[in-house]
């Protein structure tokens, strides 16, 4: 079931859902991101991760406008440890390479460091392929 988050103007700024076919949680962020919006949205994706004992997150920032540096420290210090504690192991982050959001994403990537497998992509197809590869490498070999 998809969770849809709206800002004070009624505009959707984030959706999150468990993709049962691909066995990952998909976050789609849209427009300008406020600190409170990022906090609510990031916390919202913890529920499907936990509910499905999901280790994989596809975080899509291709439609984000502007930077979200104001939320990086909170994500690194507060959200990431909780996500990791409940089993998140692989985080594919898709962002347009030339956007200001890419700079925020790079700061987050550096801050999270080696605490989980995180890769940044400017193409969602590549991000999906990386997650599938990670899933396949965790399958027991016969």
d(Cα 16, Cα 1) in Å, to the nearest integer?
A: 9
> What is the residue range of 15's domain?
3-123
For the chain, report the end-to-end CA distance as a whole number of angstroms. 34
d(Cα 89, Cα 85) in Å, to the nearest integer?
A: 10
Q: Please state the pTM of the whole predicted model.
A: 0.90
For position 142, what pLDDT does the model report?
44
Tell me if 140 is assigned to some domain: no
For position 18, what pLDDT does the model report?
98
Angle in degrees, CA 62, 34, 25, rounded to 5: 50
d(Cα 85, Cα 63) in Å, to the nearest integer?
A: 29
d(Cα 90, Cα 131) in Å, to the nearest integer?
A: 7
d(Cα 96, Cα 120) in Å, to the nearest integer?
A: 10
- Structural domain count of the chain: 1
For position 139, what pLDDT does the model report?
66
Instruction: Return the biggest CA–CA distance within the chain.
Output: 54
For position 111, what pLDDT does the model report?
77
Determine which helix (DSSP H) or strand (DSSP E) holds 4, and give its type and residue range. Answer: strand 3-6
Tell me if 137 is assigned to some domain: no
Q: What is the mean pLDDT of each run of 10 residues along the chain (142 residues)?
A: 94 97 97 95 96 97 90 92 95 84 74 84 96 87 47
CATH number at residue 101: 3.30.750.24
Sheet-wide strand order for 117-121: 3-6, 12-19, 24-31, 56-64, 90-94, 117-121
For position 140, what pLDDT does the model report?
58
Tell me if 116 is assigned to some domain: yes
Tell me if 47 is assigned to some domain: yes
């Amino acid at each position: 079931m998809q969770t849809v988050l709206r800002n004070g103007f009624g505009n959707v700024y984030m959706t999150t859902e468990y993709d049962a076919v691909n066995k990952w949680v998909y976050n789609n962020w849209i427009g300008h991101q406020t600190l409170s919006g990022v906090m609510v949205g990031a916390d919202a994706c913890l529920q499907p991760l936990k509910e499905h004992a999901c280790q994989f997150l596809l975080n899509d920032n291709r439609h984000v406008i502007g930077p979200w540096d104001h939320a990086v420290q909170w994500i690194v210090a507060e959200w990431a440890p909780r996500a990791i504690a409940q089993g998140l192991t692989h985080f594919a982050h898709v962002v347009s390479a030339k956007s200001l959001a890419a700079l925020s994403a790079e700061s987050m990537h550096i801050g999270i460091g080696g605490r989980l497998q995180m890769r940044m992509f400017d193409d969602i197809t590549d991000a999906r392929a990386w997650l599938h590869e990670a899933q396949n490498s965790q399958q027991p070999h016969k």
